[in-house]
Amino acid sequence: MWVFGIYGCSVGGGSLFWPVVLGLHGFWPMLILSLLAFPITYFPYLALSRYVLAGSERDGHDGNILDTTIEYFGQGWGKFLTTTYFLTVFPGMMIYTIAMTNTVIDFARVQLHYNGLSRWVVAPIAVGLLMVIARYGTNVVVRAMGYIVAPFIISIVIFGFMTMPHWNGAMLATTSNFGGVGTLAINTWKGLPLAVFAFSFTSITSSFVVAQKRQYGVDAERKVSQIMFVATLLAVSTMLFFSWSCIFALSPAELAQVKASNLTVLSFLARKFDTPLFAFASQLIVFTAMIKSFLAHFLATEESVRTFGKTLFKIPEAKLHSPNFSRFVVLLVFLLTTASAIYNLNIIDLITVALVPVSVFVVYFLPLYAFRKIDSLKKYSGRPTNLLIVAVGVICLISGVTSIIDKFVH
């Protein structure tokens, strides 16, 4: 159950944008990023899990990531983590509503040959329907999404096989002319933040670890690493097969067009081949992934807003769980995500600039800081994998900062 849960959280709407960046700069950056995908996902989240495992269950607390932070570092760090966590999960909903709006408009234009859809109409309707599902059918939908994960994995693999007859040599032609070692390093650097985002499961890690602590007690650490290894391996292997297959069916120039169009690689392939089978199979995968990802991020956003209210504004617990507060959260999410979908913010830029640099503080830096400060975790402080975690975190942070500077300069 937890393997599927982690897979369902990590492989979602954002993962469908990964093939675009993975193959955008040619074969060698694609190969390097593919080899890095597993270690830069498994080891940071294993470190985060070990941090949560250190939290104790006392005074009514369940030892989640926030409880652990307050226990060892105080209320100030707790407030910082609450803010950072909110800034990690909320932009995710913006990304998925933009992608959903673009997918609906593109499907209508290419497959149904109807060009009359306006973003001002599609965006509020799409977001409104997602909010209705999230607000009034959460338990039913989350349960249903659990059953969708296995078919989703199968459909991703099948689609990878479907694109194989369309493979061409455009990507292999980039092996001889890649611009030298310096260009290769820069292009790999540019692709790393999206590789981090493609397999992110920050929002489920804390609840996953708490569940293992309750069920397995002292044996929880072994079970956490075991389950996470299988889930990460399954996620990375299926998405790599899917991504490489899609990339070889396109060319670097077409991948640049996909990025400019703000669509997933599936929507672009449906447009390119214009066959009913491709069209409906691809859009089914896209919509399932977007809805699943949006709901996961909405639940995490709602919880973080409540924590905001409790830790920063001292709002009483009864008021935080009142219908009026829930309506406030729904309205806030609706207005901000609809605005971003109408404006059509660039999704890949949003991931690189807004999402990944903030999330690295939680996933990459907080556990390593804890390894040096918490006695029970000091046994993990000298491990070689920590160097990888630090390197990836710093690269993602610098990449985000330079992207922000670049936006202002240009």
Residue 74, pLDDT score:
87
Q: How far apart are CA 150 and CA 4, in angstroms?
A: 7
Contact 364, 373 (CB under 8 A): no
pLDDT at position 308 over 70: yes
Write the CB contacts of 6 (distance below 8 Å, at least 6 apart in sequence): 201, 204, 208, 227, 228, 231, 232, 235
What b/e sequence results for 84-105 when a residue is b if at least 16 CB atoms lie within 10 Å of its CB, and e otherwise? Answer: bbbbbbbbbbbbbbbbbbbbbb
Take residue 172 and report the two structure tokens written for it: 């292999």
* Mean pLDDT across the chain: 84
Instruction: Give the ranges where 199-251 is alpha helix by DSSP (H).
Output: 202-216, 220-248
Contact 3, 231 (CB under 8 A): yes
Residue 67: burial class (beta carbons within 10 Å; 0-12, 13-18, 19+): buried
Question: In which band, very low, low, confident or very high, does the pLDDT at 407 lie, cut at 50, 70 and 90?
Answer: low
Q: How far is CA 246 from CA 24, 85, 115, 150, 161, in A?
A: 12, 33, 27, 21, 9
Instruction: Look at residue 397 and tell me whether its pLDDT is greater than 60.
Output: yes
**For 92-118, what is the mean pLDDT?**
85
pLDDT of residue 406: 73
pLDDT range class, residue 42, cuts 50, 70, 90: very high
pLDDT one-digit tens code per residue, 162-199? 889 989 989 998 888 777 888 898 888 888 888 888 89
pLDDT by residue (tens digit) across 257-270? Answer: 988 888 788 878 87
Q: Which domain range does residue 15 map to?
A: 2-409
Which tokens sit at 377?
């975790």
In the chain, the largest separation of any two C-alpha atoms, in whole Å, equals: 64
Read off the tokens for 392: 């990836």
Write the DSSP assignment of 28-70 as a string of letters: HHHHHHHHHTTHHHHHHHHHHHHHHHT----TT----HHHHHH
Q: Find the angle CA(272)-CA(273)-CA(276) to the nearest 5 degrees.
A: 125
Structure tokens at 268: 């672009």
Residue 321 has pLDDT above 80, yes or no: no
Find the mean pLDDT for residues 205-212. 87
Please measure the distance between the N-terminal and C-terminal CA atoms of the chain and give it in whole angstroms: 47
pLDDT at 137 > cutoff 70: no
- Given a cut of 80, whether residue 340 has pLDDT beyond it is yes
Whether residue 135 is predicted with pLDDT greater than 80 in this model: the reply is no
Sequence length of the chain is 410
| CB burial readout 363-398, b (16+ within 10 A) else e | bbbbbbebbeebeebeebeeeeebebbeebbebbbe
Tokens at 188, concatenated = 């790999």
Instruction: Give pTM, 2 decimals.
Output: 0.83
The domain spanning residue 246 has which CATH number?
1.20.1740.10
Structurally, the chain folds into a number of domains equal to: 1
- Reply yes or no on whether the pLDDT at 312 is more than 80: no
Nearest to 64 by CA among 49, 84, 75: 49
Concatenate the DSSP letters of all residues of 88-101 into one string: HHHHHHHHHHHHHH
pLDDT given for residue 348 in this prediction: 75
CA–CA gap between residue 232 and residue 6 (Å, rounded):
8
**Contact present, 315 and 309 (Cβ < 8 Å):** yes
> CB neighbours of 23 closer than 8 A, spacing ≥ 6?
30, 171, 243, 247, 250, 252, 255
- Alpha-carbon span 156 to 325, nearest angstrom: 38
Task: Give burial (CB, 10 Å; 0-12/13-18/19+) of 81.
Answer: buried
Report the alpha-carbon distance of residue 289 to residue 100 in Å, rounded.
10
| Residue of higher predicted confidence among 364 and 410 | 364
pLDDT above 60 (res 138): no
SS3 call for 16? helix
